Amino acid sequence: MKNRILYITPVTAAVFGGILWLTSGSTNQFRNVPVFGQTYLEEIRDKGEVTIATRNSPTTFYEGRDGTYQGFEYDLIENFAQKMGIKTRFIVKDSINEIFEAIDTGEAMVAAAGLSISPTRMQKYLFGPSYQQVNQQVVCRRGNPMPSTLEGLKDVTLWVASETSYIERLMILKQQIPELKWQTVKDLDTEQLLEKVWNEEVNCTIADSNIVAINNRYYPELYVAFNLGDADNLAWALPLKAYELQAQMRLWLHEIHENGELDRLHDRYYGFAESFDYVDTTRFQQRVKTRLPRYIDLFHKYAEENNLPWSLLAAQSYQESNWRPRAMSPTGVRGMMMLTLPTAADMGVSSRLNAEQSIKGGAKYFVKLRNQLPEHIQEPDRTYFALAAYNVGMGHIYDARDLTRKLGKDPDKWNDVEGVLPLLSQKKYYKQLRHGYARGSESVAYVNRVRGYYDILERQHSQPMESFASN
């Protein structure tokens, strides 16, 4: 794949008496910051870019449906680079060992790959501030042998990815429990081992809780037996000499934590995963095979006509009707997209029970709602607001945004508004709002469920991405 370089307005710098002073027009927190030993940071500034070693996975870095790069780690490092005024160049490696080797050889300046801070790693590398806490979890499959304690691991086959912090944790635990055993696997990563457990090729494996949360959507029978010790901190690894870059990372992380950007990024990639429902997800997976094929061409057709992802339209339709053309709710909405009579008439739908008409009308209505939002609301928040409006009505979304503003939060960010929407059912709040009472918590759940279904469809109907370098 072609390299990609993101150009960003640079910061300026001046050196006085051996101290590097960074200035930036984007944030006061990057102004007049003294940094000692500036050699490594100056090297980055002289090149005008930072080279990042990462890996291809749903929690770190991958190519999205539109060809753009995505991932929690990717968005984080891009945010940092933008604040620093430098470009990025990503180098995708096949293993954790190769990622650290890239730091050792100078091929990469930063390792951003969901890396846990561990005592062994801290002897060789500097780490940036922790941006996420995770638990190492023993993961097995429902219905199969399920250990409940460390001692119980001796009775199952446990495969663990090599070069991971899981091995380091197991080695420490083995000093306490000598009979503890596992098989180290070199050619498979953690995500592949989770699939092996799901396919019943091995009893159990170990994975970080964020990786488990994402993969539960695709392999719903995976089950967390127990946590393997205390929580770990994830951070970016740096060369030992990069302490001035580490200092800038600390300032940056403090800023995005304070202004809510970190929470919004977390919600984008993990918000829907935190509401995992085993029964619902299993049922959805079954209906993807049995019901979706009857309507998938219609979803493609009308999604394309309205410039929507087909998988988003299909996910919303499943949430509305479970892909049942004759579905009806107690409130009288009907069909694949559960349209009211007035909405159906407005969208030119003569029969709400006709699957094609309903899907066509639902797609048009969704786009109409999205277009009613202020132009400055960006994606993916714009889509989340439109989904919520489809469920609860645009009037209540306007109310929720107004209330969000009054409470000192950002009305243009879904992460802020979704925390306020449930307040619309409380009298002390809704009595002062134009559109009154609303079941805002149901709207939040609606958006998260659609996001979950959409994510499953995107993963299952996309080709796996080959490893590549980009910038």
| Per-residue tokens: 198 | 């799901």
Report phi then psi at 247, rounded to 5.
-65, -40
- Within 10 angstroms of residue 160's Cβ, the number of other Cβ atoms is 22
Alpha helix positions (H), 354-461: 355-371, 381-392, 394-406, 414-420, 427-430, 440-460
| Numbers of helices and strands, H then E, in the chain | 19, 17
Query: In whole angstroms, what is the distance from residue 388 CA to residue 333 CA?
Result: 16
Q: Which residues are catalytic?
A: 320
Angle between helices 72-84 and 261-270 (to 10 degrees): 160
The C-alpha atoms of residue 216 and residue 210 are separated, in whole angstroms, by: 10
SS3 content of the chain, % helix, strand, coil (to 5): 50, 15, 35
Radius of gyration of the chain (CA): 24
Between strands 87-93 and 49-55, the pairing is parallel
Compute the half-sphere exposure of residue 7: CA atoms within 13 Å on the CB side of its CA: 0
CA distance 236 to 93: 15
* Cα separation values, 70 from 22, 64, 339, Å: 29, 6, 33
Specify burial of residue 14 (Cβ count, 10 A radius: 0-12, 13-18, 19+): exposed
376 burial via Cβ count (<10 Å: 0-12, 13-18, 19+): exposed
In angstroms, rounded to a whole number, what is the distance separating the alpha carbons of residues 202 and 204?
6
